[in-house]
Structure 1
Amino acid sequence: MTEDPSTQYWYNLKTGQVEHGYQSPSVDRAGPFNTAEEAAHALERLRENSRKWAEEDAAED
């Protein structure tokens, strides 16, 4: 069963703050994350995912 995203943690891309639930507009949020700790490291995770996807795209060309 998937947890309700309105009760999970989000990283606010505009303020750099971790939020619990829907506190800011969706365009400013990354997530959801299960814990505040995971949300706090959102930018690292996003950078890593982008790097992996770029490598995969380059390998396909």
Structure 2
Amino acid sequence: MSDEGWYYDVSTGKVSQGKDPGALNRMGPYPDKDTAERALEIAAERTKAADKADDEWNN
């Protein structure tokens, strides 16, 4: 099964396409290279949204 998704490697900051069985430090898959390059920004946005949802739920 082929994987055409894009991945961001948090240890190197590099983006690559396709699965790497030895890669434990990767985020993804993302649909394209540009999106994978924004992986940390996307993660921060999702964390902020989740934190806001938690605050709304708790209050």
TM-score by length of 2: 0.85
Match of 1:49 among 37, 46, 50: 46
Amino acid at match of 2:14: Q
* Aligned-residue RMSD, C-alpha: 1.6
Hey, what's the Cα distance between the residues in 1 that align with 2:2 and 2:55? 33
TM-score by length of 1: 0.82
For structure 1, the residue ranges without an aligned partner over 5 or more in a row are none
Hey, what's the Cα distance between the residues in 2 that align with 1:33 and 1:49? 14
Superposed structure 1 runs of 4+ greater than 3 Å apart: none
Amino acid at match of 1:51: K
In the other structure, the counterpart of 1:17 is 14
Identity %: 25
Structure with the largest fraction of helix: 1
Max Rg structure: 2
